[in-house]
Structure 1
Amino acid sequence: MALIEIDQVVKQYQDRNTAVRALDGVSLTAEAGEFVSLVGRSGCGKTTLLNLAGAMDFPTAGIVRLDGQSTTGLGDKELTRIRREKVGFVFQFFQLLPTLTAAENVELPLQLAGERDVRGRALERLALVELDGLADRYPHQLSGGQMQRVAIARAIVHKPKLLLADEPIGNLDSASADVVMQLLRRVADELGAAILMATHSLEAAKITDTLIRLRDGRIEERRPVAA
């Protein structure tokens, strides 16, 4: 069974008196441990697709299933539970809290969920992204690449089944971008998370398993990425 299944999804917005289709009949699946890149120009529907996959929004038509469960029609409480337990998010802008250390930022999702032993689990994830030696540093003491690695550790601290990454290397230099992409590959391989990543970078997409090219809200190309 696919971990994430998007079936003939349409997402339509109203722009004044005009209906705009951000997604038009999009279907895709991703298995546990599969790394999928979504490429295409700005406005092609990549971020909209991530929002639907992560239960942040509802489709106008079609079905989104996460871990075998349709998210359509669920209430806010259940959607919040699904996001908290099964989904991790990584953004272009790191969204770290400046008054918290790296470890404290990573701990935050666990604290909000009422979990115990949050420090130990946070340090495990910082070690996975090779930042365990910087656990007590604040965001302003870290480079952009290091901040994004903290953000990845925070996104995976609760062992999500699905990781959504929206332009995760958009603000990074090439060396930092390479490190982040290798770490995302490691998350898929070692933790078994399915990853959907929106990116403008075809170079970054080379490390993924499957490339999906979107154009005007539709899938224009779908192919495996050569090893």
Structure 2
Amino acid sequence: MSRLPRPATLGLLTATLLCTGLTPGLAPSLAAPLPTTAVAQQPAPAPALTVEQARAAAVRILEAIKSGNANARYAQFSDQLKAVSSPSMVAATMRSQPKVLGYQLLSVRSGRTTSTVEAEIRTARGNRVLFIVINGKGQIERYYVDRADDPTSKVALQFVQAISGGQFITAHSFLSPSFQKEISPAALQSKWLGLQRETGSFVKVGRAVEAESTPDMRLVLVNVEFNRLTDNLYVILDSTNEIIGVDFPEYPAGPAPVQ
């Protein structure tokens, strides 16, 4: 399938997995590469916690969520997550989510620099399985939620609502684990703000429509209105409803005439 070049300013994000078999005009691209200029050498990450330390850190994190303590929740973020959040933003996010009534740790696995904790949380709207990646300081590096049983269009819509509402950590939790490693919450923020320099300020999110599907991937179009134009955001999900790609059309529709 031939592909036309896309204006770089209008491409939001696409995962490496997004290559072929989707809607014509949806061209694949990788996340923007790091600048080639020299950067200061970053300190080596702390080694991963032991299983018992990770378990204790997970309990502290889950207790903060259960109690609704936004200050404690924010303090448990890694420096990378703190850079795109604040205690007031955390409080607003927690108010928008169902109250956590209880939780159960299912597994704890430690790697070289991070630990992954699997927990089932019980909420007023049902149970959810949550995966939390914890760094060597006992802080949340990233997390994701099992949404395999949700309607695909609902997952895509909630992702766009999160990113358009400035909840970049929540939006990041919708991405697949491999995509999370490629794209940070700060990169999501930068791309979203950069996009609005072309489209105008965000106004509202419309409806989501599942456009195409294969056994491995699903394409959902989420209508987004800006003050200059209205167009669809393409959200690509895998068979478990984890997002593996996000993209804007190559050629936005342009401003509509006054009715």
Does TM, normalized by the shorter one, top 0.5? no
- After TM superposition, the score normalised by the length of structure 1 is 0.34
Max radius of gyration: which structure? 2
- Bigger helix share: 1
Larger RCO, structure (CA 8 Å, separation 6 or more):
1
TM-score scaled to structure 2, two decimals? Answer: 0.31
